[in-house]
A = this chain, B = another copy of it.
Amino acid sequence: MLERIRIILVGTSHPGNIGGAARAMKNMGLSDLALVAPRAQFPHPEAEHRATGATDILSRVNVYDTLADATTDCTLIAGASARNRNMPWPLIKPRALGEQLKATLPNPQAQAALVFGREDRGLSNEELHQCHLHVNIPTNPDFSSLNLAAAVQVLAYEARLALHEEAEAQQPPFGTEWDVPFATGEDLERFFVHLEKTLVDIDFHNPNNPRQLMARLRRLYLRAQPDTMELNILRGILSATEKCAATASTSKSAGQTQHQGHSDTDPHHE
């Protein structure tokens, strides 16, 4: 349906903006660019340069004398407008425009136009009055004039989201595309038993005076939702730590006076 959204640039002065708009369009899957009475020379090397790989869109641009000529086949015409003008007109935000496109374009006869005005003074009232609705991109009120290609980027992005990405626009559940299975509750509980035993072995943890140690560690690890490979790594570390503790304990009992200095080691400092 994105192919039935025409981007129309009216009276554009800078050829770079035409190229930037073409690139933004192609990034979002749009392909139909029209120019109305461009003030910039077109074609122009600066347009090609800013379009990067979107020169195919530039090569298919149609140029018209008036906005009416560019929209003869359009059933939904939305004009970008920085502010409401003297006569109020239906005025929506880009996200609502996405919804409108989603409601409109499934009809195969529908053809949409998103119209962008001159860099210095936007669309004329006459042009705005040819639009079914006006779209206002939310901006910092102290600095509200978007670059033309940036404005095209935002509306094309909302169009793509509404028409192609809706299901994905919501955050996919964590781990949707994970490559390793997540650890099960059973795996995790075995790990916590192992962890607690190891912490006792290294004299870090006293089960008779546990404070909140295990609870805090559980919260940390559970929050991270470890996968089975990560859990294997953690358990490998615990096993290695246990072995080390066993060795230390053996050597301690073998020659307690000899290793007296070790009692200064802060077990919290690893």
Contact = CB atoms under 8 A, between A and B. Distances in A.
A70 interface: no
Contacts of A172: 91-92
Contact of A157 (B50, B99, B137, B179): B137
A164 B138 contact: yes
Nearest to A146: B27
A161 B136 CA distance: 13
B171 A92 contact: yes
Interface string A145-185: 11101100110010011001100111110110111000000
A144 to B, nearest CB: 7
Interface residues of A, number: 49
A185 to B, nearest CB: 21
Interface of A: 20, 23-24, 26-29, 50, 52-54, 84, 87-88, 90-93, 95-96, 99, 137-140, 143-147, 149-150, 153-154, 157, 160-161, 164-165, 168-172, 174-175, 177-179
A178 B88 contact: yes
Contact of A153 (B28, B96, B153, B165): B153
Contacts of A26: 140, 143
A110 to B, nearest CB: 17
A145 to B, nearest CB: 8
A176 to B, nearest CB: 9
A99 B150 CA distance: 22
10 contacts: A27-B140, A28-B139, A28-B140, A29-B140, A52-B147, A54-B143, A88-B177, A96-B170, A139-B160, A157-B157
Given A53-B145, A138-B168, 18 more contacts: A24-B147, A24-B150, A27-B139, A27-B145, A27-B146, A28-B140, A52-B147, A87-B179, A88-B175, A88-B177, A88-B178, A93-B165, A95-B161, A96-B169, A138-B160, A153-B154, A154-B154, A154-B157
Contacts of A161: 95, 138
Contact of A27 (B29, B144, B160): B144
B20 A147 contact: yes
